[in-house]
Amino acid sequence: MALEMARTKPTVVVTRKLPDVVETRMMELFDVQLNINDRAFSQDELAAATGACDVLVPNLTDRIDAALIAQAGPRLKLIANFGNGTDHIDVAAARSKGIAVTNTPGVLTEDTADMAMALMVSVPRRLVEGARMIQAGEFKGWSPTHMLGHRTYGKRLGIIGMGRIGTAVARRAKGFGMAVHYHNRRRLLPELEAEVEATYWESLDQMLARMDVISIHCPHTPATFHLLSERRLKLLKPSAYIINTARGEIVDEEALIRMLEAGELAGAGLDVFEHEPAVNPKLLTMKNVILLPHMGSATIESRINMGEKVIINIRAFCDGHTPPDRVLPT
- Residues acting as catalytic residues: 247, 276, 294
Q: Report the C-alpha gap between 30 and 15 in whole angstroms.
A: 15
**Residue 159 near residue 217 (C-beta atoms within 8 A):** yes
Q: C-alpha dihedral over 178, 179, 184, 187, to 10 degrees? A: 130
Q: Report the C-alpha gap between 72 and 80 in whole angstroms.
A: 15
**Residue 238 near residue 214 (C-beta atoms within 8 A):** no
- Strand ranges across the sheet with 213-216: 198-200, 179-183, 156-160, 213-216, 241-244, 267-270, 289-291
Q: Report the C-alpha gap between 58 and 301 in whole angstroms.
A: 19
Q: Distance from CA of residue 179 to its chain's centroid?
A: 24
Phi-psi region of 312 (alpha: psi -120 to 50; beta: other; left: phi over 0): alpha
b or e along 187-207 (b: 16 or more beta carbons within 10 Å of the residue's beta carbon)? ebeeeebeebebeebeebeeb
